[in-house]
Chain A
Amino acid sequence: MSRRKRDLELQQELEAHLRMAVRDRMERGQTREEAHSAALAEFGNTLLVKEVTRDMWGWASLERLVQDCRYGIRLLRKNLGFTAVVVLTLALGIGANTAMYSVIQAALTPLAIPEADRVVVVWTENAKRDWHQFPASAPDYIDWKASGVFSSLGAMADAGFNLRLGDHTDRVNGLRVTSEFFTALAVPPRIGRVFQAEDLLPGHSQVAILTDALWHSRFNADPSVIGSSIVLDGRPHTVIGVLPKTFPTVGHEEMYAPFLFTADMAASRGSRSFQVVGRLREGVTLAAAQQRMSELERRLGTQYTDDTGDSVALQPMEDALGQDGRQLMVILFGAVGFVLLIACANIANLLLARGTSRRKEMALRVALGVGRWRLCRQLLTESLLLALLGGAVAIGPSLGAIRFITSFHLDELRNADLIALNPRVLVFNLALSFATGILFGLAPAWQAWKIDVSGAVKDASRSNTSGGNQRLRGLFVIGEVALTLILLVGAGLMLRSFEQQRSALPGYESHNVLTVRVALSEQQYAVPEKQIAFYERVTRAAQSLPGVVSASAVDELPASDNLHGTALRFPDRPDPRTEDLKLVLRNSVASGYFATMHIPLVRGRYLDETDTATSAPVAVIDEWTAKQNWPSQDVVGRSLKLGKNLPPRRIVGVVGNVDQGILVKLLKGQVGQVYLPLTQGPVPAMTLVLRTKVDPVALIPTIRKLVRGVDIDQPIFQVRTLDDMRSAGQASQRLVTSLLSSFAGVALLLAAIGIYGVIAFSVGQRTREFGIRMSLGARRLDVMNLVVGKGLLLAGAGIAVGLAGAYALTRLLSSLLYGVNPTDRVTFAAVTTLLAAVAIAASFMPAWRATRVDPVIALRCD
């Protein structure tokens, strides 16, 4: 039976009851009127009887939900402006959170390897030298393998390959790995096979394994590629396998080749050049493995006094791959969480204010017998409706935010291809909307619960009883201001850091410079003379290209994240203790490098063509190194050593300091720099630098053709202008800065609205009081001060709480900050001033209105 029909029937049933009662009374001699009123009195409250009877129908709760929803929707439609403001605020807050969750769920997607928690990365550590998570050496690896802790232990090292297909050669990122690397991960290949022990024997190692991505992009996903021959670094290699799409990647590797131990590597415990990945033996826990490895390392430490790491750290591979992005995600998720909390506080405030104007309605309903619980539930339903609406609208902004975040192509964020609005993210969105609705709906529901019926009905227009609400609203504003301050401080610090970075002079002229990487195949260019000859030929040819001012080459550009540090020693001084050795960056440069980069000469001379492989060893140092090591003497003519057993080099010149990029700054503060002529420190992989008269990008095809003309097997890659190169290392800083700034902006706006709302409301409530004050002679300024003072009081409390919070939280940012302390006083002061100013501005409008109160009208207004 339908609800409507049942209702009608109940109505008729009760009417019949009344009719019979009236008739009985009339039969007993009462008049119709008497009988009617007596029957009604006896019957009681018809509405109430109906309601309690309906309760017995069983499906009442669902029925009520529908009713509440209908009522809620009607109310939302009636106040379209209010609804729009709330829904949009929520859409921003929930949207930002949804987007961040999408990033996090992608990053936390478990590795597609069996028993992933048993696969660990093994690092060497040396607390004395402040080494953490250092790679391993071949002797380390051999000792660890014999420890019995691992069922298989593989080695891997970054590698790049020059892959030639047809008459086209490209640089492909890859890894050199031992066969145990694959047994440790225990992921079978998609097709073909993985490396076996024989593949690692000299003479048998011309084999390669492709990732699914490379197989698709270069080999058209053709299964017959197995067994076919490809040219890597100018030599034929046989493709033996293709890995599945889900195979975990460490970096951007697309190809795997065998890792071979050379005699040099096996001899040197101190040259740590590769990473070690292992699977724990069955029955060995991570803690037990860590303990056994630490013991082993202690034993080795007593055996080999030099060049040991003093401890070993096992880290689950899952952690190792995710650790770079973790902090970034904590910061961003914290920020979006704050924005949502601020939005909630604001909406709760709006609802409380509206609730106050609905007090009479609520009180009437309570008086008519609607239960408080029912009332609360209805208000919560309204809040939930708003939140769900907001959550649905949030899909739009979250898509935008996802696109924005992925556009930074952050290496720190794992599984970037999985960042999307998938069902899991949508479920999160729904759950978050629900939670949000309940969160901001609690305050208005509580307000309804506490409603004082007699007071409200008697005295609805002037609600003295809403003092509790005012206090609650004040608390919300304080919370909002505090969270806003934290976001503002975060954004301020990031902006300051950026300003510092931008205004820091790089020490060279980055405009109009094209940089191009070339990595010579070590098989084809085994002897240094050939490497030197190649770069001399290429730079000379590039120099004469039209549009090129000058051309040179360097092994690593300043601001590169690939650093070659060397301990600095002096032939005329005793060797310092190992841990006191000073680290300097060492660069090999072709002649003309300083002139091309516009790095100024301070003393002596630049390196030039006269510095050859056979001439006396020389070096150029930067000013900082000169000042640090020869504070009051002329440096030119003195000597330094870049290795214990290497010959001394005569310093022939001092050049200006060069900004070493954020990585060095963050790790070491500032380190010195030593430049060698390429001829005396040949390196197979170099970056060509071309200073141009024209737009450097226009020269890319020309330089590609030029290098190809010299050797078809040597591709150019990492083709970028020096300007781009400088900003590339700052992607995560840029992302955090732009997100934090926009979040802080939104938060500031919301806080301003919140303050305005509360102050305006209290001015409305105190109209009478202001009228009295002014009729007693208070000046406008006094009233103004009273109101603005209240705004400032709220803001001040919020600022105090926020400052404490910011002081505790900005530490999280420290690794992203450059040249700025996380508790930077200037930023804290500026942000405090800004917030206070906004608070004054937000309370100014209502204050001004308060002074316009006409005492006569105010006193009469009730």
Chain B
Amino acid sequence: MNAKDRYQNRIELLQGTLDMLILKTLQWGSQHGYGIIQAIRTGSSDVLQVETGSLYPALHRLERQGWLTAEWKQTESNQRAKYYRLTPSGKKQLASEQARWTQLSSAIGQIMGPQGELS
């Protein structure tokens, strides 16, 4: 398996979840790619490390789907960066993903039960 295939497989594994995480991150305002990675990492207490090879294809795909728009802006440190922002349809998509996720996680939670029961 070559390098590209490996990347593509990872995107697939994460696809639904990564998209949801990106949309969620952008819920409170626009952000650039680097910022999104950082936000996901700090937001997950350093557990989720999104790779660039997964992030940028996802951003471009979401942009093509019309859920995100992008514009070039100055960062606080006065650098030019491409900022992504949710579109109205992106917000709707986030809402439905959110609902689906809540349903899914509670369903899985019921089956797996509280951790204590195992011991």
Contact = CB atoms under 8 A, between A and B. Distances in A.
Chains A and B come from one and the same complex: yes
A12 B32 CA distance: 12
A44 B53 contact: yes
Interface in A12-53: 12-14, 16-17, 19-21, 23-24, 43-45, 48-49, 51-53
Interface in B33-66: 33-35, 38, 51-53, 56-57, 60-61, 64
Contacts of B33: 13, 17
A55 interface: yes
Contacts, number: 77
Given A51-B4, A52-B8, A371-B4, A16 B34 contact: yes
Most buried by A among B38, B56, B75: B56
Interface string A50-76: 011101111000000000000000000
Most buried by A among B11, B57, B75, B79: B57
A747 B87 CA distance: 66
A56 B64 contact: yes
Nearest to A19: B79
Chain A facing B: main interface SS: helix
Interface in B51-98: 51-53, 56-57, 60-61, 64, 75, 77, 79-82
Nearest to A52: B57
Interface in A543-594: none
B56 A14 contact: yes
Given A52-B11, A53-B57, A58-B64, A369 B32 contact: no
A533 to B, nearest CB: 98
Contacts of B52: 14, 17, 43-44, 49
A44 B56 contact: no
A56 B35 CA distance: 21
A791 B7 CA distance: 48
A724 interface: no
A376 to B, nearest CB: 14
A13 B56 contact: yes
Contacts of A24: 38
B112 interface: no
B60 A56 contact: yes
Contacts of B4: 48, 51-52, 369-371
A446 to B, nearest CB: 18
A23 B7 CA distance: 26
B55 to A, nearest CB: 9
A16 B60 contact: no
Given A13-B33, A53-B60, A56-B60, A23 B53 contact: no
A195 B62 CA distance: 78
A372 B4 CA distance: 11
A369 B7 CA distance: 10
Most buried by B among A369, A370, A372: A369
B53 A45 contact: yes
Nearest to A9: B82
A51 B53 CA distance: 9
A284 interface: no
Nearest to A366: B2
B80 A12 contact: yes
A58 B8 CA distance: 16
B5 interface: yes
A739 B23 CA distance: 71
Given A16-B34, A20-B34, A371-B5, A49 B79 contact: no
A225 B74 CA distance: 92
Contacts of A12: 80, 82
B3 A45 contact: yes
A17 B53 CA distance: 12
A467 to B, nearest CB: 24
B3 A48 contact: yes
Contact of A20 (B3, B64, B75): B75
B34 to A, nearest CB: 4
Contacts of B77: 20, 23
B60 A57 contact: yes
A404 B4 CA distance: 56
A44 B77 CA distance: 24
22 contacts: A12-B82, A13-B33, A13-B56, A16-B32, A16-B34, A16-B80, A19-B79, A20-B34, A20-B79, A20-B81, A43-B52, A44-B52, A48-B3, A48-B53, A49-B52, A52-B4, A52-B56, A53-B56, A53-B57, A366-B2, A367-B2, A369-B3
Given A10-B56, A12-B82, A16-B34, 11 more contacts: A9-B82, A13-B32, A20-B32, A43-B52, A45-B3, A49-B56, A52-B7, A52-B8, A52-B57, A57-B60, A369-B4
Interface of B: 2-5, 7-8, 11, 32-35, 38, 51-53, 56-57, 60-61, 64, 75, 77, 79-82
Ranked nearest first, the 10 interchain pairs of A and B with the lowest CB-CB distance are A56-B60, A53-B56, A20-B34, A16-B81, A56-B61, A369-B4, A369-B3, A13-B82, A17-B34, A53-B57
